[in-house]
Amino acid sequence: MTTTPFKRLLLTGAAGGLGQVLRQRLSGCAEVLRLSDIAPMAPASGPHEEVVPCDLADKAAVHALVAGVDAIVHFGGVSTEHAFEDILGPNICGVFHIYEAARQHGVKRIIFASSNHVIGFYGQDQRIDAHAQRRPDSYYGLSKCYGEDVASFYFDRYGIETVSIRIGSSFPAPQNPRMLCTWLSYDDLTQLIERGLFTANVGHTVVYGASNNRMVWWDNRHAAHLGYQPKDSSEVFRAEVEAKPAPAADDPSMRYQGGAFVAAGPFA
Ligand code: NAI
Ligand code: 15L
């Protein structure tokens, strides 16, 4: 795997929880990191950063945003369950705008922040790989299914390569029993993004984003070419998590891989 930095790398969702973490961690991946979000961001800290506000739902604005970048780490959008109408612009139109701009500007590599919620209706007693039929658990999960399909289409039709990371739960620490299985540390997320950016010939690869947790639901055999080797484990947080009252056994958070998302809504 070569790790020659890109000249200019775009990070969307830069004001978000993960975006703020990745702003620091991806700085070595490019000479210039272009940071974008609809929400306010800290100003550029030097010539190695550019801050470009943009609404992903605005096609012309996204076209301008992507001009001059070599690769995109697409983390922007609505990140939890909402009414479909609230997800449509940022996530559905937004991902299309990103890929269409990438095509027009000749960008050849994208990392897409997909989610475990594309398969959230699988039970916690099931083990699946990236070829398992998707079972989205929410309008949010549906939007991530669409994003993965856009990535697949733009590879087959235009040769734009993507690594879609089905992120589990990427937070400083797991917050409940489910997250002991889904937790992805920031170090392991960073490793996945770097491998996604710099591994040759990824086509459209789907990889599950979980750390080296004791309990795993997801099999990454179809992404072995990335060489992802998670270093962290949720096990160090187990006692802390188990000291809290556990949800009832029939609570969705204890039954489904997608947890509470399976029971969100309806919104009308
Ligand atoms: P977040 O909600 O903190 O960050 C998302 C960012 O996208 C926000 O800063 C928000 O302002 C921005 N955004 C929303 N609508 C926008 C629009 N119309 N135009 C431009 N920017 C817009 O979420 P987080 O946790 O940082 O997640 C980042 C990405 O990773 C999201 O795409 C999320 O779906 C995905 N993900 C995160 C997981 C996690 O455990 N943190 C798990 C699975 C997926
Ligand atoms: C996600 O996709 C969300 O963006 C994040 O906020 C968490 O809810 C995570 O999944 C999860 O499933 O824990």
CA atoms within 13 Å, Cβ hemisphere of 217: 25
Bridge partners (DSSP) listed for residue 219: 129
Whether 134 is covered by a domain: the verdict is yes
**Ligand nearest to the CA of residue 89, numbered in listed order:** 1
Q: Is the dihedral of CA 257, 11, 224, 95 positive or negative?
A: positive
Whether 175 is covered by a domain: the verdict is yes
Whether 1 is covered by a domain: the verdict is no
Q: Which of 11, 18, 51 has the most ligand 1 atoms within 8 A of CB, as the residue to mutate?
A: 18
Give residue 82's pLDDT: 98
Q: Please report, to the nearest 10 degrees, the dihedral formed by the alpha carbons of residues 226, 231, 233, 237 taken in order.
A: -140
Whether 268 is covered by a domain: the verdict is no
Closest CA relative to residue 237, chosen from 255, 203, 214: 214
Give residue 3's pLDDT: 74
Quote the ligand 1 centre to 91 CA distance (angstroms). Answer: 10
Overall average pLDDT of the 190-216 stretch: 98
Whether 50 is covered by a domain: the verdict is yes
**202, 226 contact by CB (below 8 A):** yes
Instruction: Tell me which of 140, 208, 228, 256 is the catalytic residue.
Output: 140
Range of the domain at 140: 6-263
Quote the ligand 1 centre to 19 CA distance (angstroms). Answer: 8
Q: What digits encode the pLDDT tens for the residues 26-59?
A: 999 999 999 999 999 999 999 999 999 999 999 9
Give residue 1's pLDDT: 72
CATH code: domain of residue 224: 3.40.50.720
Whether 136 is covered by a domain: the verdict is yes
Q: How far is CA 75 from CA 60, 129, 214, in A?
A: 19, 23, 27
Q: What digits encode the pLDDT tens for the residues 102-120?
A: 999 999 999 999 999 999 9
Give residue 5's pLDDT: 87
Whether 232 is covered by a domain: the verdict is yes
Show the ligand 1 pocket: residues with CB < 6 angstroms.
13, 15-19, 37-39, 55-57, 75-79, 89-90, 94, 113, 115, 167, 169-171
Closest residue to atom 2 of ligand 1, CA basis: 79
Whether 195 is covered by a domain: the verdict is yes
114 lines ligand 2 (CB under 6 A): no
pTM over 0.95, yes/no: yes
Q: Is the pLDDT of residue 150 over 90?
A: yes
Answer yes or no: 140 catalytic.
Answer: yes
**Ligand nearest to the CA of residue 117, numbered in listed order:** 2
Q: How far is 161 from 197, CA to CA, in rounded Å?
A: 9
Residue 47 belongs to what H/E stretch?
none
Q: What digits encode the pLDDT tens for the residues 170-193?
A: 999 999 999 999 999 999 999 999
Closest residue to atom 11 of ligand 1, CA basis: 39
Structural domain total, the chain: 1
What average pLDDT does the chain have?
A: 98
Q: Is the pLDDT of residue 2 over 80?
A: no
